[in-house]
Structure formats: C-alpha cells, structure tokens
Structure 1
Amino acid sequence: MTTAAEATAPAQAPDVPDTETPRRRWQPWALALIVLGSAALYAWNITGTGWGNTFYTAAVKSMSESLTNFVFGSFDPAGVVTVDKPPMALWPQVVSVWVFGWHSWAVLLPQVVEGAAAVFLLHRTVRYWAGENVALVAALVLAITPITVAINRDNNPDTMLTLLCVAAAYAFTRSVQPGASSRSATKWLLQAAFWVGCGFLTKSLAAWMIVPALAVGYLFGREASWGRRIGDLFAAAGVLLVSSFWWVALTVLWPDPKPYVGGSTDGSELTLIFGYNGLGRVFGENIGRGGAGGGNAMARAPEAIGQGGPGGPGGGGFAADNGIGRMFGEQVGGQISWLLPLCLLVLVVVAVTGVLTRRRKLPADHLARAGWLMWGTWLVVLCAVFSVQEGIFHPYYTTQLAPAIGALAGAGLALLWRRYRDTDTGWSWVLLPLAVALTAAWAWVLVSRDLDWNGWLRYAVAGVAVLAVVGLVIARLTRQQRADGARTAAVLGLVAVLLAPGVWSAATAGASTGGGGAMASAGPPGGGFGGFGGGRGRGGQRGEPQGLQLPNGQEIGPEQLQELASRFGGGGEQVALTAEEQKILNYVTTNSGEAKIVMAVEGGSMGSSRYIINSNATIIGMGGFMGSDPAPSVRQLTDWKAQGAIAFVLTSAKGESGRGGRGGFGGGQVGQERTEWVQNNCKEVAPSTYGGSAASSTQDRQGGPGNPFGGGQTLYDCRNR
C-alpha cells in the first residue's frame, strides 16, 4: 500500500541524485527538441518585432559608446539620464551589439538565448528533484507559456530576471540533495543567494519575491540540525545583500560627471529601488518618482503608459483591477493562467497528504518536501503580490511565475498518475481525470473570451480532453490502469493540458509583431495593444482601445492611445524616422559644429529614442522617459549654452510648454521650465530652413493641435553666435 509519505513525493524520489540513474535513449533527444524548439519559437521572425522596447534599445546604443554609460545604463549617449532599471539585463544586449553590430536582431538575440537557457536550466533543476520525465514536462511548460514567448521576443528585463531566478532554484535544489555534505549544501545555498542578487541588479525588488520560497524550502527541507540551517540562511542573507548592492555602491562612489538616475526624486538608486520600483509598485503610491517639480505621476516609466490614474485605487496598469481574480482576469488569464487551476489542485492534494503524513508520524522525503515547499511558496507568494499590487502592473510581469507553474504542473501530473495507478488509494484515482477536465474547462473559458483569436481551439481541447478522461475512467474501472490504454489516455490528457497554451504561443510568435514592443503580450493583437487600454471599460467591448485622462485633466482618446501603442508596440516601420524627422536630423548634424550635444529633445524618450536608434549623433531626451526628470536642469542648460556644448533643441510647438509636445505626456513643471528657457535663450528655426513643412510647428501628427503624442514641434538654435 502506498504510504502518505510516498504520496507526497514526486514521480520518483531516489536516494541518490537522478543524474546517477540511467536515462532512456529518447529522453536526451526530447530535451534537445524542447530547448531548440523554444529557441526557434522565441527567434521566429524576430525582426518583425522591430527594435523591441525602444526606450531600452536606445539605451543599449548609448551604453555601447562609453564605460560610464555602460555601468549606469544611460539612456542617452551624452550620459545625462539613466533608464529606470538597473542595467544588468541590458549588458548582454550591449555585448551582442559590440560583437554583431547595430542591428535589431543583435539587440534581441540575447533574449532568445536567455529564454532557451532558462528552459534548459529548469529541466536540470526539476530533474534533481523529481526525475527526468517530470523535468521534461516542466521544461515544455515553460517553453510554451504564452507570455514567456512574448517577453522572450522583446528586450524588457523580465527574460533575464526569469533566467536568474531559475538559476537560484537550481542552486537551491542542489543544496537540499540527500547525502550532500554540510559544506556542499552551504555553498550551493550561497550560490542561490548570489543569483537572486544578480536578479536584483536586473529588476530590483522583483527578484527578492522568490526569497521566501528559497528560505522556507531550505529551512524545512534540508536534512541538518536547526542551528546549521538557520546559520546557513543568515550567511545566504549576507551574500544576497552584497550581490544586490555592490552596483548601487559603485554608482555612489563613481566620480562625477555621471548620469542622473532616471525616475528617482534625488538622483539616488536607493530612492528608485525602494520607492517607485519597490513600495510604489505594491501600494500604488507616488513614491520615488518625478524628480523636482513632480509632474505627471503616472507617466514616469515604460510600464506607466496607459495608467488609469496616478496612484489611485485600482491603478493596476493595463490589467484588471487588483484583487484575488486578477490572475484569472481578461488581461492576465490568457497570458499565464492556463495551468494555474491544475497547480492549485496539486498543492491542495500535497498539503492534505503532508498533514496526514505528519499526524501518522510517517517518515517524510526531505527532498520532495523541500521542492514542494519551494515551488509552492514561489507560486503563492508571487500570485499574491501580483494580485494585491495597486501600483503599475503589466501582464508580462507574470512570466516570473512560469518556472514554478512548469515544475508544479509536471510534478503534479506525475503525482496524480501514481495515485491513479495505485489500487490501494481509494477514490483518489479520480484526481487525474479531474485535473485534465478542470484544465480543459479553464482553457475553454479563456479561449471563449475572444473567439476571433483561434476560437476553434476550445473545441479541439475539449475533444482531446473528453477522449482522455473517458479513457482514464474506463481503464480504471476495468482494472486496466497499467495497460497501454491507460498510458494512451494519459498522453492524451497531457496533450489536452498543453494544447491551448502551445497554440497561443505559436500564434504569438507567428504574428507580425510577435508580441514584442514595450508592452509585450500574447493572444489577440487587438486585446488592448499589448496593454494599452485592454479589458472592458470606457472603450466599450474588449479589444477596443480605451481612452485615459492625464492628471492635468487632458483627455487622451482611443485613436491617440492607439498611436502610442504603435510607437511602443514594436515593428520596424514605427521606429523609422518620418520624412520630417529625417530632415531635422540632417540639418542639425550638418550645422552642429563642435557642440557635444547635437540636439536635445523635450518630451523624453518618446521623441528622442528614434533619433538615437537611427543615427550616430549625440542626441538626448530631456527628462528621462517621459520628460519629468530634472535632467538636464535649467542650470545645466545654461552651462551647456555658455560652453557651446549644445547646438539645437527640439521642443513642443510654440506656446505649448509642459503640455506634452513631441511624443510625450509632458514633464510637468520641470518640462515647462526647460521649454521656457529654450524659448527665451534660443532662436526658433523656421521649418523652411531645413526643408520642413510650416504645419509641423503648429499641428500634431494627426492633423490637430493638443495631441500629446503628436508632431507639434519647434526646432530651436542654441548655438552661441
């Protein structure tokens, strides 16, 4: 009879690491197929995603030009202001550009490699815990998670973050292996802490969300004295702090001049880490943003575009309102939640069985316990944080859940298969067909939300699931559960579980933009433009872009928001300069003389990124991402002009100070002060001088004034004469 202790174990819990057990001949080939298939999925038509997130892409080019820019993650080549994240995710992209040259595929290639590496490393991790077959399923789940496919075709930091988190999980799993010496276990745990610290230098406190999972798994899963376990955790905490903050200390000690930390209130990385990128994300407060002069609280970072309001309740970015249902809502559900019901069912089964094991005082499998605790805590903690998060939130954040979902789904299906095959487990055999039916039913719900996007899929999943469930039930009732019929039904069940996310992933990769851009997403291309106003609300039906209102009361209509989506949603044609912009660029580069800064663009990166990407001139975007940072300040502009360091400034149309202008929401008081300084200290250049249209200085790109994303602009000559 199967004991409760055995039931809590995964498919197998050998006394020695699974790497020492013989593998079947087909298993290495299956792993190679999964890893290479994931790489092909992430790289397919990758040039169709354009330059990815143009904010970070422009930074990659700027970082490739000087050591200071590289260390700090400078957005502009002059090193005026940084991006709003630590730069570790951008460093491989810079190296790729150094090696292969300035191409869009060179910027995105590291993401493909990192994504495939995460798939491979998750397999190795789960193999040590639960065996080869479970590891293959886990790797496959990660490879075809829709939001993971989308974000791995982009250059946001989440791909690198996920890889580093999986690396930490691998080191943790090695630390709790049966028979490992105390010294070896400690070294592996310290390595896990180091990888989390690297994740911190990729996306700040987001990496620390898996720390409770590692701590709980080690504390209650490691075979050692309590004193040894607690001591190891304290040592790991020290490594975590050092590996997380060495770069922060470096930015403090680095001699001036150095870039202003974009998004901070005082130019400090600590303010950004614990403010806007930390507590501000969770509590929705306007912490650590905006610099001097405040300004538009919602429009401070690439993720902030489309925020329904600054710091208010339900300010959940582009997803549904925060709450327990967010992970299953219309914006997030299709990205990550396909296997969440299965994982939650498995965790309940494991928890109940664990309680029974403890009550009966049966021997427990420490390796199995450590794995279940680590992966289960990972899933629960991250789901909880994402669900209650009141600050900026985007569906692609949830790719950090994918490794845990893969591990739990693989080990859970193996556990339920063992329960199904065991004749002495009572009615618990029904859990396997129930899990297949539950997952297929949830897939039906998700696909039904937009039948224009592969709506046929729900019938395919339902058909395969019915065959699997009926086959499993018949095989069990006829006591043929060990026969080939049961195995065939189990394989059909696995197909039913993975078919829907697999098709969504393939469709995302095959789409023209492939889910790339600043707001990467999978699924219907009209479902909110990768995050721009999706869901139901002011826009009417799902899939229609909704408007939003800026803090200054200005209304942005669906058409204007759609243009913003096109600017940041990828596609090479959106990144290319317009004919008017090319004329401006030609004029300023020809006439800038010895000035260090050829042109400064007010309105942040939305106006300057394309110039940086498409030229070798030193062009800066004033005010960071959305123009709200006090970099450069008016005093700095004055010094530049006195030194002859700045030649031209491109700003909003005359009389529109601080209202937005060239592709931005505006910089609030800071942006207005800069614009007024330019108007008072520089000379307006007539459009006819550079061969442009007179309408460009009075109308926006869509043909009317007041569009915060439009082309209303004026070129100013700031050279000393």
Structure 2
Amino acid sequence: MTTTSLTPPAGEPWPEAGDFPPPQPPSASAPEGAAAERTTHSPLFPEFPLPPVGPKGPASWAGRLRTLPARSLRGRAEDPRWVRPALLALLAATAVLYLWGLSASGWANAFYAAAVQAGSQSWKAFFYGSSDAGNFITVDKPPLSLWPMALSARVFGLSSWSLLAPQALMAVGTVATLYATVRRRFSPLAGLLAGVALALTPVAALMFRYNNPDALLLLLLTLAAYGLVRAIEAAGTRWLVFTGVMFGLAFLTKTLQAFLVLPAALLIYLVVAPTGLWRRVRQLLAGGLAMVLAGGWWVAVVELVPASARPYVGGSQDDSFLSLTFGYNGLGRLNGNEKGSVGGGAHNRIPAGVQAVVGGGPGGAPAGGPPGGMRGGGGWGETGLTRLFDGNIGGQITWLMPAALILLLLGLWATRRHARTDSARAAFLVWGGWLISTALTFSFMSGIFHQYYTVALAPAVAALVGMGVDGLWRARHRLPYAAVLAATLAVTVVWAYVLLGRSAQFLPWLRPAVLAGGLLAAVALLAAGPLAAGPLGARLAHRADGGPSGGEGTGLGHPDGARASGRRLAGRLTAVAGLVGAAAALGGPAAYAVETVNTPHQGSIVLAGPSVAGGFGPGGGKGRGAKGGGAAPWLNGRTATPPQDGGRAGRQGGHGTPGGRGTPGGHGAPGGSHGVPGGMNGLPGGQGGAGGMGGMGGLLSGTKVSEEAAALLKQDADQYRWAAATSGSQNAASYQLASGVPVMALGGFNSSDPSLSLSAFQEYVREGKVHWFLGGGSRRAVGGGETAGTNAAHTANGRGGGSAESETAQIEAWVESHYTPRTVGGATFYDLTQPPTS
C-alpha cells in the first residue's frame, strides 16, 4: 500500500475528482476470509485521500506486529501512532463512566436480581433462569443474560457490584466492537466518533449499568454486525456462520427482538456479497443452521423435559417457551394482544390507575377516543412515525438520529455508482437496515413498549454518524459537501435545543450554549474550507503570515504557494470549527448520560436523563390528554421517597389522570393495594416500611423489607423448599433478596400466569414444602374479584389453563380464610405449617 499525504507539496495543485480511481471491491474469487482492500482514499468520495500513515510506514512495522499483544498496543501498521492510544483512552473512559458509582442502584431490577441470586445458589435455577432456587417459575425471558451475572455472583459473592459490573463491561466490549466494525472500511476518525457517540447515548448509559437483558443483546447484535461486514468483504462462510451464532445467542437473550434486524441482514448479504448467487444462498443456509443450533438447543431442552421436572415457564399461559416466544414476547408485542400481560388480552385490561402510570389514562381523553388521547398504542404510548421523537422517549436516543438519517441518505447517494459489491455501501446498508427496521417496529408496535427499548438503536445511530461525518470531513473543502456537513450539524443542535427544552430545570445554560456553539461551528465549516482554498483564503493567509500586499519577496505571492497557505489556514479554522461542532452536538446527550450515571435507578420502568415534560409513562410530566406539572421523580425509576398523599402525587405526576384516594396500603404496604399505583388506592404512598408490591406497583420499585421480616423468613428455611410464597415476582423478589432464601412467586411477574392451581398449592402445603405465605394484592392488583373467574382444568402437577387471576386470587383467599395473620415488620405472615381452620 502506498503512502498518500493529505496535503500536497507546495506548488502542486490540489487533487481533483478523477485523479484517483474509485476503490475496487475484493474480487469475487478472493479466498475466503481475505481482508478487505485497504484503500488510501475516502470510501464515499474516492477523489479525497485519507490521512497519511504513520511516519515509519507499514513496511517497517510488518515484522513487529506478529504477536497479539503487539497488535493490540500498536494497532494497524498503516494507522498513525495516535490511533491506538485514542481507542484505548475511549475504552478506559467508557469503563470509568459506566462503573462509576455502580452500586448506587442497589439490586436495580429486583425481578432479574432475584433470578441471578437463585442461579448463584442452584445450577438448575441457573440453567432455566428460575426466579427462585426452589425452581418454581422462571423469568419471562431466556436465561442467557442472567448467566454472566450469576457467574460473577458465584465468584465474587452476590452484591450490587457483582450483579452490575458484567453489564458495564459489556458496554466496553460493545464500543470496541463498534469501532472495529466501522474501522474495517472507514478511517480511525469514523470508528472513534462512532464509539464516542455510543458511549454518550443516554439510554446506553442507563441499560449498560442495569441488569435487564438489553446490555448483552446489544453486544451480541453488534458482534453480529461485525461478522456480517467481514462476511460481505470476501464472501466468507466462516464469518457468516459466526453472524448466525451471534443472532442465535441474541435470541437466547431477548427472544424475537434479536431478529428485528435479521431480514435486512439476509437481504443485504444476498444482494451484495462478492460471489455467485447460489453460493450466497448456500452460505445463508449455513448461517441459518448455525443460528438455529446456537439459539435452539436450550429451547429444545425446555420443551422436551417434562413439566414436573422443571420450573414453570414464566410469562406463558400454557407452560410453553414456544408460546411465550411467539405470543407474549412475540406477536403480542406488535399487535398488543399479550394474554397474561398487564394490558394485554381479554383477561388483563389495565385498571385506570395503573394505566395512569404506564401511559395514558382516562383524564383528558377526547370523546370517543382511546384513553389518554392515545392512538393505537393503548397504555404504552402513541404510535406513529414521531413516536420515538416525542416526550420522554426523544431524550433517550434521538439526539443524533436526525443526523444519522441524513448521513444514511448521503452514504447511499455517494455510493450509488459504486460496484454492487462495494463494501462502503454495504456498511451503510447494514447499519441503515438495522436503524430503519428497528425504528419502524418500535414506532408502530401496539403492545408493551418501554422507553429503554430504544437502546437497540444506539449502535446503528452511532455507526452512521461516524461513517457519514468521516466522509464529509474528508470532502469538506468542496462547497456542496461542506454545506451538507454544516446543515447536518445545524439540524443536530436545533434538535438538541428542542430536547433540552423539555427539561427546562436541567442545566438551563446548556440549551443556548449548544445552539449558539453549534450554529457558529456550522457557519464556520460552511465558509472556512471553500473560501480558504480560493483566492480570498490565499490573501488572508498571506496577510496572516506578515507579507506585503503583493507578496513579492515572500514566496507567498506565487499562486501555488498562496493556495497552499490558504489550505493551512483552512485546516486551522475547520479544525477549531469541527471541535466546537462536535462538542455542541454531543453536549446534550453527554449531559443526560452523566445525569443518568449519577442517579440511582430501580424497578422495571426506568428512564435515562432528567425528568421531562411530555411523553407517556413514568417521568412523563405532561399527559397526552391534559396539562400537568413536572414529573414525580420517584416515577422515573429512581431511588426517591414517594409522597404520602396519593392524590397529590397523582396531580404532581401530571399524567392526565386524577390521583387516587392516597390511603395507606394494606398490611403496611407502601401504596394502596400493596403498591398498586393511583386510581385504585392512590400512587405509592402511605405508611409502613414493608409489605407487598405485587402487580403493577412492582414495576416502579421494589418492596422495602424490614430486618424483622427478613429474619423471620430465614428461620428454619433450610427445612423447606420455599421459605414463603406470595403473589407476583416483584413482591417475591424483594423478600428473597432481603433474606437470601427461596420465595415462591405465584402468578409470575404480573400475578397472571396460571402457574399453580389451588389444589396443587394445598398439596405443597400438606407436604410441608412452604413455610410462610406473605399477604399480597393479586385480587386487587390484577383486577380480578375475590372469586373472579372459574376453576380451570389443570395438569397433573397443577399447572396450565384457565383464568390466571382466579388461581392466584383463590390461593390468597384460601390462605386468608384458613390461617391466622401475623404482622412482622409491617408485613403480614401466614404460617402454613399450622393446622388450617375450617
């Protein structure tokens, strides 16, 4: 490879279009696994050279990069010396940012934390992803995301740090993988910019410090994109198989969400891979087989093992992982018919107060319209093309999304005449396909949708920004390209100005600073390059160097010398403008990311950044149907003390619904009806230190369990398979994490899974497998009455079929009517080892 300097020698003209041939893709006959051609010119605009290589050149480094440590420290032979230190600094900064104060969030999402605890105590619970070491029921996702955390807990002991540190390290791996993927075809600048953009995405700063499955999902999908890019370069079967394995493992992380980008990936490879059509088809079949094996082996085990020998599949209505995959976690997410979910299916209409929390609500709804003025999203927000930009969703992910869409169009336009197999266009197709397919799905899905789902867009947005800005930066001395670069920056800072306006109390000086700095940088980028490269720039450079007006005797009066000096001035001006523009574009998301890192988060509904006005769900501030005040901070998934007056909290939350009665929760629970949000017995508030947080209340935060209650659960716990039983996984998780002993979660996450019949529970009690029953709120939280529904047919082990509300409610009603309650530390205990009353 030859060395090409970015600036031509003095006296030589600047290279014009056509001086360099366009980069040629690898030959279709290239050996499998061959590296992509290392062009010295911009992948988008071949007439512009890339930065020069290091001073020693590639030849002198060739013999010194044979060992992995040397390659890791030095990087590519053709890279300047600053590239690898910059990458290592980026990865170190990402690790510091994401590991900083990691334990502040405690158990974070107690639902998954309890499963990690169970996996650290029981290998069977580890394999199935059980919520408890007694293996009664699993979480409603495959277990792969739990395994790194459970292994960490086994090695370092169970703690908040050992739980969350693997997630933060996955962020470092994802940033490194994104850099490597973008760097394959573009310059180091593109890879570094993409990595910085990803690390500073607010929702990424949230989810890579949280114990939800999204962190591992993002790492695996980014690895899949890397494998796909490598496979496209030279039609490599091995890399396509690697891609299939990554997709399969991503399926074992979060089921069908892993496949949102799969159709685009298949189509892209089928069209652009540099080999024959039938070989492409065979390769895709091999990759598909690898995906099925990587993602299907665990599913096969679960489906083939008898139900009596494994835990119940949480989230399903028939104890089948396949139905969970294609129902509750699959098509139900798209069409909203999620039987067994809060808000899904005929059995699970969202109560008014619960709907006020998850989104929408009766207040302010137009006549004849859906609750809360929603369109198509039910209780999960308004659907449509603007959904991701609205309310509190926009601040999670969309800071750079307008720029990413603009640069995607630019990349496809710039490569329109390149060969079918051009790897630069393929890179834009890979990341653009990821962005478009995922964004459209999130925009129009009618089922459960949380704001943090948008983290799945972060790598695609960051990659497109890095690649597009890199191409425009190389071409910035041409007016059309400078104009596109300036316009992209202007759009970005204007949108940041809008987003920052939704949280007016958050760093009020940042909003005008971002707008002013970004617009000034855009003007400078538009003017500096083209003008400084022309006659005016030459005159300015000449005067700046102290020469006379005519330039005689200085050497600058020569036209070529003046042009060279003008280019030097252009380089200085554009460098400053570029730094200012980057700071303005990243200032908003960086501030949100730092705010996210510095704020503890707990519960199943969490948001990045400060509370904002507008949007749906927690932290929404202003409801769709009616005006409201600022968002209640405790609704943002953060650790804060909820107000005691449920009615006042409902008004402060501003979700367009009136507050509830605000009465203290039963059995000393914080919040009405064991923590069920407003409209039923008020938003969480009231007195008492412990108590049930079953139903929707557990979505917001876990239950505070007193030391007395935890100590009572531990007494003689080793004599029972489950120390206690209660309704709802969130409620059970809080007691289990506080005591360290297994707690049976009746009904699963929403208390709506038909996981156990009354007769089967009575058999467990007779066999002495359960010690205590903890008073819960399933009958009120889920919406069923004291004897709602009818008894359903059950399998031999008491599972499956029928109305889930009636089963959990019947168990609770039977316990309350046959055993004497005992209040300990604000929680209600029923001793199931005592003889029941008639």
- Report the equivalent of 1:670: 807
Q: 1:95 aligns with which of 135, 146, 151?
A: 151
User: Where do 1:89-128 residues align within 5 Å?
Assistant: 89-128=145-184
Per the alignment, residue 44 of structure 2 pairs with 9
CA 1:96–1:559: 2 relative to 1, 3 Å: farther
**Structure 1 residues 626, 211: closer, same or farther in 2, change over 3 A?**
same
Picking from 718, 721, 724, the partner of 1:599 is 724
Q: How does 1:456-535 map to 2 (within 5 A)?
A: 456-475=509-528, 476-479=530-533, 480=566, 482-511=570-599, 513=600, 515=601, 517-525=603-611, 531-532=617-618, 534-535=620-621
Residues 502, 612 of structure 2: 8 Å contact kept: no
Q: Distance in 1 between matches of 2:269 and 2:300?
A: 30
Specify the alignment match of 1:249 in structure 2: 300
C-alpha distance after superposition, 1:203-257 (max 9, x if no partner): 0000011212322332233211122212211221222222221111011223532
What SS does structure 2 have at the residue aligned with 1:261? coil
Equivalences for 1:123-202 in 2 at 5 Å? 123-177=179-233, 180=234, 182=235, 185-202=236-253
Residue from 204, 213, 228 that aligns with 2:279: 228
Query: Bigger CA drift: 316-325 or 373-382?
Result: 316-325
Q: Which one-letter code corresponds to 1:642 in the other structure?
A: R
Which secondary structure state, in structure 1, belongs to the residue aligned with residue 274 of structure 2? coil
Cα shift at 1:338 = 0.6
Match of 2:326 among 266, 274, 279: 274
- Alpha carbons of 1:566 and 1:450: their partners in 2 closer, same or farther (altered >3 Å)? farther
> Whole-Å Cα distance in 2 between the matches of residues 76 and 445 of structure 1?
45
Matched, 1:349 2:388: no
- Secondary structure at the residue paired with 2:463? helix
Q: Aligned residue for 1:440?
A: 493
SS at match of 1:420: coil
Relative contact order (C-alpha < 8 Å, sep 6+): which is higher? 1
Residues 113 and 640 (structure 1), Cα distance of their counterparts in 2 relative to 1, 3 Å cut: same
1:631 Cα offset (Å): 2.2
The residue type paired with residue 290 of structure 2 is V
Distance in structure 2 (CA, Å) of the matches to 1:441 and 1:170: 32
Deviates further, 535-544 or 460-469? 535-544
Matched-pair contact (CA < 8 Å) for 1:308–1:548: no
Q: CA deviation at 1:322?
A: 1.0
The alignment partner of 1:130 has SS state of coil
- Structure 2 residue 799 is the aligned partner of structure 1 residue 684: no
Which segment drifts farther, 463-472 or 502-511?
463-472
Q: How far apart are 1:139 and its partner, in Å?
A: 0.7
Aligned counterparts of 2:144 and 2:215: Cα–Cα separation in 1: 11
Is the CA contact (8 Å cut-off) linking 1:306 and 1:548 kept in structure 2? Answer: no
Contact 1:658 1:675 in 2 (8 A): no
SS at 2:400 equivalent: helix
Q: Distance in 2 between matches of 1:131 and 1:466?
A: 26
Whole-Å separation in 2 of the counterparts to 1:224 and 1:473:
42
TM-score where L is the length of structure 2: 0.73
CA 1:658 to 1:449, structure 2 compared with 1: closer, same or farther past 3 Å? closer
Paired position in structure 2 for 1:704: none
Q: Greater Rg, structure 1 or structure 2? A: 2
Change (3 A) 1:335 1:658: closer
Aligned residue type for 1:715 = Y
Instruction: Please list the CA deviations of residues 29-79 of structure 1 after superposition, one character each: whole Å capped at 9, or x if unmatched.
Output: 111111111111111111111111001001111122222211111112211
TM-score (norm 1): 0.84
Map of 1:699 onto structure 2: none
Task: Tell me the equivalent position of 1:556.
Answer: 678
Letter aligned with residue 611 of structure 1: Y
CA distance in 1, matches of 2:345, 2:86: 57
Structure 2 letter corresponding to 1:643: E
1:330 maps to which residue?
391
Counterpart-to-counterpart distance in 2, 1:118 and 1:163 = 5
Q: Report the CA distance shift for 1:121/1:303 in structure 2 as closer, same or farther (over 3 A).
A: farther
- Cα deviations across residues 354-397 of structure 1 (Å, max 9, x unaligned)? 44x2xxxx646611121011111111111110101111111111
Relative to structure 2, which stretch is displaced further, 448-457 or 393-402?
Answer: 448-457
What does residue range 201-220 of structure 1 map to in structure 2 within 5 Å? 201-220=252-271
Identity fraction in percent: 32
Corresponding residue to 1:540 among 619, 628, 650:
628
Q: Determine if contact 1:307/1:316 at 8 Å carries over to the other structure.
A: no
The structure richer in helix per residue is: 1
User: What displacement does 1:418 show?
Assistant: 2.9
Q: Are the equivalent residues in 1 in contact too, given 2:43–2:185 (CA < 8 A)? A: no
Q: 309-318 or 383-392: which moved more?
A: 309-318
> Deviation per CA, 1:615-659, whole angstroms, max 9, x where unpaired?
132322211112111223212212112212222212248997976
CA gap of 1:368–1:204, structure 2 versus 1, over 3 A, is same
SS at match of 2:719: coil
Q: Which moved more, 1:520-529 or 1:438-447?
A: 520-529
Query: How far apart are the structure 2 equivalents of 1:595 and 1:292?
Result: 35
SS at match of 1:129: coil
Q: Partner of 1:601: helix, strand, or coil?
A: strand
Corresponding pairs, count: 668
Moved more, 317-326 or 386-395: 317-326
Distance 1:260-1:516 versus aligned 2 partners, 3 A rule: same
**Cα distance in 1 for residues equivalent to 2:203 and 2:155:** 29
Instruction: State whether residues 596 and 646 of structure 1, in contact with CA within 8 Å, keep that contact through their aligned partners in structure 2.
Output: yes
